[in-house]
Amino acid sequence: MHLKSIFKTEDRVTSAWLFGSWARGEENLDSDVDIMIEMNSDFKYSMFDIMDIAHIIENKINRKVDLVEKGYLKDFAAKTIGNDLIKIYG
């Protein structure tokens, strides 16, 4: 996967982390890619921007992507993925 190169061309994102099965090395043929992003505060953005970024990534890696914005995970989920986070950009 070349996620870092995708984010280098995406001005709306300042940082990105991989988590879930791909971060743990437990992915399989059906695994989606879980990514947490931090949006660039210099831009106004909406959920449509996040959906657009996910769509761009999906098209480039040919795999389903679950994209979540940093700070918007439920507490239990944030604690669960805390050990899985691998910084891939920023």
**What pLDDT does 76 receive?**
63
- Residue 14: predicted pLDDT: 98
Cα 12 to Cα 42: distance, rounded to the nearest angstrom = 8
Exposure b/e, 46-65, CB count within 10 A at least 16 = b: eeebbeebbeebeeeeebeb
Count the domains in the chain. 1
Note down the domain range covering 67.
3-89
CATH number at residue 21: 3.30.460.10
CB 86 within 8 A of CB 12: no
pTM of the model: 0.89
For residue 80, the model assigns a pLDDT of 72
From first to last of the 90 residues of the chain, give the pLDDT tens digit. 589 999 999 999 999 999 999 999 999 999 999 999 999 999 999 999 999 999 999 999 999 999 999 988 776 676 777 778 999 999
**Which is it for strands 86-89 and 33-39: parallel, antiparallel or unpaired?**
unpaired
